[in-house]
């Protein structure tokens, strides 16, 4: 029995030496969609299964297995990584993410651009915020069915004695889908927002991950997260339009 087990381990070790790894960058679909659609864990002709790992933030899928299996899976992924049917070509987009500080007392930040004021009025009436300020705007010039990323910092420390000079760093990752309809509607297959807010104690981490549709000229509130309890919140508002 021990000799059989030892032989099995040796065979597995030798096989592992022949394994290769390949990273596939996705252009049109989410990594999790690939994992759902692919036949996961099915053994190869040698009886060993290739492994797939998805990274949503980077928009990639990593394949690990025998060379023939890896190339076949990569080819299958390429076959399904296509624009959605009915999308209107591959047009240029102006996509904007407005980061607002909404408070029931005082909010740090700048005045609001005119196009966001109607959304701010609705937030004041529906959620009881008395002051809403603009922290920053991430502007994306991208094509539909593409992924883009922006980084920056916000003037948003929490607490009167918070460490001075420490920025609140943020990252926004957008994966745009296709445009549909006479009044173009953009499908955003994934938007990920992450920020670290400096505070008197441990930094407050804010994360918003969502997917949604936004029509041309529409302002959509896609997420809200508390910054320092019930008083102050970070609100994300997006707009999108085709520019060609």
| Cα 63 to Cα 57: distance, rounded to the nearest angstrom | 17
Residue 229 DSSP code: T
Residues of the chain with CATH 3.30.1370.120: 2-80
pLDDT at 80 over 90: no
Give the DSSP H or E segment for 36.
Answer: helix 31-37
In percent, how much of the chain has pLDDT > 90? 18
Largest CA distance in the chain: 77
Q: Which of the four pLDDT bands, split at 50, 70 and 90, describes residue 47?
A: low
Residue 241: what pLDDT?
85
pLDDT for the residue 164: 55
pTM above 0.85, yes or no: no
Domain 2-80: give its CATH code.
3.30.1370.120
Angle (CA) 17 19 23, round 5°: 140
Q: What is the pLDDT of residues 93-133, one digit of tens each?
A: 889 999 998 887 655 555 677 777 788 888 887 777 788 88
- Look at residues 112, 34, 111, 42 and name the one whose alpha carbon lies nearest to residue 74: 34
Rounded Cα gap, residues 120 and 131, in angstroms: 9
pLDDT at 209: 93
Mean pLDDT of the 196-217 span: 83
User: Using alpha carbons only, what angle is made at residue 57 by residues 52 and 59, rounded to the nearest 5 degrees?
Assistant: 55
Handedness of CA 56, 60, 62, 68 (dihedral sign): positive
Residue 176 forms beta bridges with which residues? Answer: 188
Residue with tokens 């529906």: 126
Check residue 229 and give its pLDDT: 62
């Amino acid at each position: 029995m021990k000799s059989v087990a030892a032989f099995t381990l040796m065979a597995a070790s030798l096989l592992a030496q022949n394994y290769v790894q390949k990273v596939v960058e996705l252009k049109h679909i989410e990594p999790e969609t690939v994992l759902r659609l692919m036949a996961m864990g099915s053994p190869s002709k040698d009886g060993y299964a290739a492994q797939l790992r998805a990274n949503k933030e980077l928009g990639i899928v990593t394949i690990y297995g025998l060379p023939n299996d890896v190339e076949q899976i990569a080819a299958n992924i390429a076959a399904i990584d296509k624009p959605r049917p009915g999308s209107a070509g591959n047009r240029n987009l102006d996509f904007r993410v407005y980061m607002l500080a909404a408070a029931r007392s005082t909010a740090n930040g700048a005045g609001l651009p005119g196009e966001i004021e109607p959304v701010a009025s609705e937030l004041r009436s529906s959620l009881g915020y008395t002051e809403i300020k603009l922290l920053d705007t991430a502007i994306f010039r991208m094509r539909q069915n593409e992924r883009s990323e922006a980084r920056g910092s916000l003037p948003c420390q929490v607490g009167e004695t918070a460490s001075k000079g420490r920025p609140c760093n943020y990252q926004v990752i957008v994966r745009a889908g296709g445009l549909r309809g006479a009044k173009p509607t953009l499908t955003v297959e994934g938007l990920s927002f992450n920020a670290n807010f400096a505070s008197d104690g441990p930094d407050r981490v804010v994360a918003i991950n969502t997917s949604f549709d936004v029509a041309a000229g529409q302002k959509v509130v896609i997420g809200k997260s508390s910054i320092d309890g019930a008083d102050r919140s970070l609100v994300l508002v997006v707009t999108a339009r085709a520019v060609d």
